[in-house]
Every structure is written in C-alpha cells, then in structure tokens.
C-alpha cells in the first residue's frame, strides 16, 4: 500500500522518521539522529527541511504545533506504517545476510 510511495528509505529518511515517532521540532530531529547513530549519520538543515516538506506533502508527517517559531512534527499513521515496513525489510536483509555469512556460502 504505502510501500509503493517510498520503496526504500535512505538512512537519513529512516532516522528522521524514527525521530518523528514523538512530537519534535527540526533542530531536535537533527540532534536525535546524531545521538541515535552516534554521529554516523548527519542530517543537515537543508536535507531535513526538504524531507519534512516532502513527507508533509505525502501525508507521512503532520505539523502538530508551533512553539516559539519552532514547528513541531509527528508521524501520521501512514508514516508509521511506512517506517514499520522498512524496519521489517531491513530485518529481513540482516537475517538473510546472517545466514549466508555464517555459512560462508550461497546457493547458485
């Protein structure tokens, strides 16, 4: 269903969406992504606000309020569904990799 909209999420998309499971503003998202990934994934302001704009247009996130000039966003049900589907997909990739790497071979 929603999967067709975003076939595979990029790392920044995935971590931004994880951050949006709770109401949060843009700067908080950037800090959260940095914390979750221990600095491995960086999301700059341009990338973040471009993603938020796209996500809002696609009804993946919604603005819930504005406080002191900061827009607060959260995932919609549709966004949560996309995030959960991506999480399942990534788990399957890891599972498949674990099997093949553990065995050190693959079927031809």
Q: What is the pLDDT of residues 12-59, one digit of tens each?
A: 999 999 999 999 999 999 999 999 999 999 999 999 999 999 999 999
Question: What does 37-52 look like in DSSP terms, one character per residue?
Answer: TTTSS---HHHHHHHH
Residue 21 lies in a domain: yes
pTM for this prediction: 0.85
Report the pLDDT value the prediction gives residue 62, as an integer from 0 to 100.
97
Instruction: Classify residue 55 as exposed, middle or buried by CB count within 10 Å of its CB (0-12, 13-18, 19+).
Output: buried
Residue 54 lies in a domain: yes
What angle do helix axes 11-19 and 26-36 make, rounded to 10 degrees?
Answer: 110
Calpha distance 108→60 (Å, rounded): 40
Residue 2 lies in a domain: no
CA atoms lying within 13 Å on the CB side of residue 83: 20
Residue 64 lies in a domain: yes
Residue 97 lies in a domain: yes
Q: Residue 6: which pLDDT band, with cuts at 50, 70 and 90?
A: low
Residue 1 lies in a domain: no
pLDDT average, residue stretch 49-71? 92
Among the listed residues 22, 84, 9, the one whose alpha carbon sits nearest the alpha carbon of residue 51: 9
Residue 40 lies in a domain: yes
Residue 4 lies in a domain: no
Q: Is 5 in a helix, a strand, or coil?
A: coil
The CATH number of whichever domain residue 13 belongs to comes to 1.10.10.10
For residue 79, what are the domain limits? 9-103
Count up the domains in the chain and report the number: 1
């Amino acid at each position: 269903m929603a999967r067709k909209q975003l076939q595979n999420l990029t790392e920044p998309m995935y971590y931004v969406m994880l951050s949006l499971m709770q109401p949060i503003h843009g700067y908080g998202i950037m800090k959260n992504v940095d914390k979750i990934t221990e600095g491995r994934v960086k999301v700059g302001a341009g990338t973040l606000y471009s993603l938020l704009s796209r996500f809002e247009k696609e009804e993946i996130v919604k603005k819930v309020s504005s406080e002191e000039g900061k827009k607060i966003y959260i995932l919609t049900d549709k966004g949560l569904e996309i995030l959960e589907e991506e999480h399942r997909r990534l788990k399957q990739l890891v599972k498949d990799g674990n099997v093949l790497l553990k065995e050190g071979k693959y079927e031809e």
